[in-house]
Structure 1
């Protein structure tokens, strides 16, 4: 059908263009509707925990709950989950600490081929921060194009409490041991860390670069 109309599709711009007797025709997609469709497809068939049963919804509340749910789904895309059960395989045979997972529904021949491929390329996996050796500076280096008219900002130290302080210190120690960061005494820019909750009760340490981003033209 697309060839019949000589149509050209751009998924990035969500547009379809095609020639017509009076010029170029154009079909523009709706980003919000597209996101709603994506969320609906991903969540289809999955029962949402904590939802009220239809017969338990108070009168007059059903419409409001539906509107709130649709608004929430449009703002927060669903997390894609595996289609079936997963099977642990050893990337390095005999080492239970270096594993990955593949679909258990695959055929035996496919499982064997994928496992052998992963094991042959075991050297490309990074199991610890120390395994991330980085890129030779002669190949490429990273440089922030900071606007010189901006005055450097040193954020005030934030207090997280004893429990989160231990988590932050452990993450900093990992990066120090791996050589990814080093201590400096007279920083021009100083940004606080931010702990972001991960699944299963864990935390991810990030950096609050909002002030720095303002001085870095995109």
Structure 2
């Protein structure tokens, strides 16, 4: 672990005019709940101001005390962010508050509007709430029979509301069946407002019958099948238009039906927006490259020297440099993840495995190139960067194809440096390697009795002895 610098005790994000001022001797920081970066930052600042307002602080020292005492109210990712601020970057308490609110803006509580009631959904095992019935009633037209029924006789339970709506649906379907698709046939005898008179166009009435050969879907299934058979080739899918539509935006087309690309996304880690992040459900650890940490200006002394061995699909192993805990932010959700640090060239900057997927309950789909995340305000969707995933996959294939010829060429040029048969191992210096038997010299050696083997085994033993004799000849 890297040792701290002798002057590290003087590190401070504030300017010298604030850092060098001594606090009053009788000043005591009021007790306040700590902020860890998972709640509204504006509420924390308001609560902190109120606590400091009642503290007895001279007016000339108030801003200094407000600045220096703010760091003691932070913990977790918020405290880590405060420590990593550059020295001398904060000039006043207002500057500190603006920087703090900007960093944790994703945790701010949004203002509620009346339109949010229409996005309220019922979760599992949650009791029914009657306010949703009132919202439904307010959305009906005043002359609607169901509106009149719900206004005259309010529902006292959700089951009562279901019974009334079901009865209304049955009434509408029965009228539609009797009058040919209209609840009130007289309503469609009125002239069309736009044309000034009754039109034969089907748009003049939403339920106007076009002709007598219309199929009534309210019939029984057997009657419907017979009716379709009698119509013959009339029932068929409409053919596609031969004229291409120039209004089609080809850039918004879906991804190809068949592809084998991984899911690559971008997200904020610490204070940096990191790209080329592979979401891999087959990885049991979260990994980050050492070059990425250096680009994020994170020092290596923050890496915990807890190395572990990673085992690949074919049994190859790779040892990590250590571990580091970093906050991740995606769609307003913050999580503190443990990353294994690797020092080698990779097409991906970060690999998010099952720990990250399970912590925030992500549902990834490599085929649809997106992930679904349950949040406090609904299910959020993050689309993957499909083109970037294809580039990463191509880069991996190019790297593997380029390394193999170089490795084969190297082995051919340096073939004399390698020991292929046993007798090539002659002349190894004892300074390089030695083999010793841990035998106590105080004991008298005992000669073992000769063992007799079968002829085939005896031949194999003699061949091995001859090989060893050649090596030490």
TM-score relative to the length of structure 1: 0.32
More helix by share: 2
Bigger-Rg structure (1/2): 2
TM-score relative to the length of structure 2: 0.16
